[in-house]
Structure 1
Amino acid sequence: MALVPYEESSGIELQKLYNPLATFAFANHTIQIRQDWRQLGVAAVVWDAALVLSTYLEMGAVTLRGCSAVELGAGTGLVGIVAALLGAHVTITDRKVALEFLKSNVEANLPPHIQPKVVVKELTWGQNLESYSPGEFDLILGADVIYLEDTFMDLLRTLGHLCSNHSVILLACRIRYERDSDFLAMLERQFTVSRVHYDPEKDVHIYRAQRRAQREDL
């Protein structure tokens, strides 16, 4: 969600950042994602966590057709686009400054008959949550949203607001630092958390979370 500027000395894969267009195949569609890291930082690049989570959705790990889903900190919108192509009604969210960029990717990659099932909407974690109904979504998706410690409490507050008793959260991430593990420990105080997938090539984990003592319907 946070728009973090890229530093040339950070060692991030340069080719990925410089490529203005990234092409993928999901849900029997070719998806072309525009990237613009110079303007929007790391939020405007497709990272491995988004690819792994999109693949996991495509595998049928959760029921998407007809479900109400939200993607948090969507950045380029890839995960939300894939969820929509697989049949979900999706709200794709990020901060206000990123919305026009996000909308351009969504509109470019969804067929006209699917676009009415998708909403691009502002959501800054922990703020103005009243614009979303409590427990509004069946499925909450996040790819590489666990990286800024200052946002952890706001992210937890947002997850708690959006979840109902039957909601499922899927978070895809690398465990890069101790603070990442700290967030998972914080999450476990409110939710039942399990690791449901690991991609060893990309070193990306997917964690599934639900409110404690809930059935796993999805």
Structure 2
Amino acid sequence: MALVPYTENALPALAKLHNSTATFHLAGREVLLNQDWRRSGVAAVVWDAAVVLALYLEALAPVELRGRPVIELGAGTGLVGIVAALLGARVTITDRAPALELLSANVRANVPADLRPGSAAVSELSWGSGLERYPAGGFDLVLGADIVYLEDTFPALLATLDHLCADAAAVLLACKIRYERDARFLALLRARFSVEEVHFDRPRDIHVYRAVRRAPRAEL
């Protein structure tokens, strides 16, 4: 469901969101993503946070992605998960059901077929719901770009992060700090994880935070 209505008279800074495609050169490839603001709103366009996080994974992240189990939350058009897969990770790329058609098409178009079965799987995930379908502690890295913006979702998002993260897992979140509620989410995250800012893209005003679990997972 679109959270922001489509309008033909977008501000100039938002005009790129109304293009039907967005092209990037990342992970040694041209990544061409379809966008569809008119049909699906915010879930169907590439936001700056996704671009910054993809660039961070490619050039700055002090982690080896090859062969590692990774999951992206709220993937939207899939840029971050696609780049992680192209860098060698085994990525589960997730979003809510309405976003999956466009997301799946973008993954098929940009991840070579010989890599796709093991490196890029698209899956439905609504935070806090149906988590038993995903292995507890089953991921070394959790990715999220611009997913911290609705305060009502914070408890479910935190529960999802807690479920997915292995003991030594890291969470990479790229976001703007727009409102006081965004800072409140970071405070909630710090109650469970050690959190540090690892990158700031000043022109885009995007922060990248790395969070690591404070203590080993409790035995169930």
Normalising by structure 2, we get a TM-score of: 0.93
The corresponding residue for 1:54 is: 54
Q: Give the SS at the match of 1:192.
A: strand
**2:157 counterpart letter in structure 1:** L
Q: Give the SS at the match of 1:127.
A: coil
The corresponding residue for 1:80 is: 81
Quote the Cα distance in structure 1 between the aligned partners of 2:86 and 2:102. 19
**Deviation digits for residues 50-91 of structure 1, max 9, x if unmatched?**
000000000151210111000000000000000000000000
Matches within 5 A, 1:96-135: 96-116=97-117, 117-135=119-137
Q: Kindly indicate whether the alpha-carbon contact (under 8 Å) linking 2:22 and 2:34 is maintained by their aligned counterparts in 1.
A: yes
The corresponding residue for 1:211 is: 213
Quote the Cα distance in structure 2 between the aligned partners of 1:10 and 1:64. 37
Q: Kindly indicate whether the alpha-carbon contact (under 8 Å) linking 2:170 and 2:212 is maintained by their aligned counterparts in 1.
A: yes
Q: Give the SS at the match of 1:65.
A: coil
Q: Greater shift after overlay, 103-112 or 4-13?
A: 4-13
The answer to whether structure 1 residue 25 and structure 2 residue 11 are counterparts is no
Quote the Cα distance in structure 2 between the aligned partners of 1:42 and 1:68. 27
The corresponding residue for 2:169 is: 167
The corresponding residue for 2:13 is: 13
Quote the Cα distance in structure 2 between the aligned partners of 1:12 and 1:63. 38
Q: Kindly indicate whether the alpha-carbon contact (under 8 Å) linking 2:68 and 2:90 is maintained by their aligned counterparts in 1.
A: yes
**1:40 counterpart letter in structure 2:** S
Matches within 5 A, 1:179-194: 179-194=181-196
Deviation beyond 3 Å, 4+ runs, structure 1 = 7-14
Distance 1:198 1:14, change over 3 A: closer
The corresponding residue for 1:69 is: 70
Aligned residues: 213
**1:152 counterpart letter in structure 2:** F
Quote the Cα distance in structure 2 between the aligned partners of 1:6 and 1:63. 39
The CA deviation at 1:213 is 5.2
Q: Kindly indicate whether the alpha-carbon contact (under 8 Å) linking 2:70 and 2:92 is maintained by their aligned counterparts in 1.
A: yes
Quote the Cα distance in structure 2 between the aligned partners of 1:120 and 1:206. 24
Normalising by structure 1, we get a TM-score of: 0.93
| Unpaired runs of at least 5, structure 2 | none
Q: Give the root-mean-square deviation of aligned CA atoms.
A: 1.6
Quote the Cα distance in structure 2 between the aligned partners of 1:21 and 1:163. 33
Quote the Cα distance in structure 2 between the aligned partners of 1:12 and 1:69. 35
